[in-house]
Amino acid sequence: MSMRKHRPRYRNVDERAWVHRESNPHPPTPLKVLDLEVGLPSVPEARTRLGLLLEACRREGRRFLKIVHGYGSTGEGGRLREALRGTLFQRKLEGAIRDFIPGEVFHDFHPATAELIRRCPVLARDYDFDRPNKGVTIVILK
Q: What are the tens digits of pLDDT across the range 84-117?
A: 999 999 999 999 999 999 999 999 899 989 998 8
Domain contains 15: no
Domain contains 6: no
Give the SS3 label for residue 11.
strand
Q: In the beta sheet, which residues pair with residue 20? A: 9
User: What is the phi/psi pair of residue 87, to 5°?
Assistant: -65, -45
Note the pLDDT tens digit of each residue in 29-67: 668 888 887 888 889 999 999 999 999 998 988 889 999
Write down the pTM of the prediction.
0.74
Cα 137 from Cα 65, distance rounded (Å): 8
Domain contains 117: yes
User: Domain containing 137 — which CATH number?
Assistant: 3.30.1370.110
Distances (CA, A) of 75 to 28, 71, 81, 137: 26, 7, 12, 17
pLDDT at 71: 79
Domain total for the chain? 1
pLDDT at 78: 80
Mean pLDDT over 81-85 rounds to 92
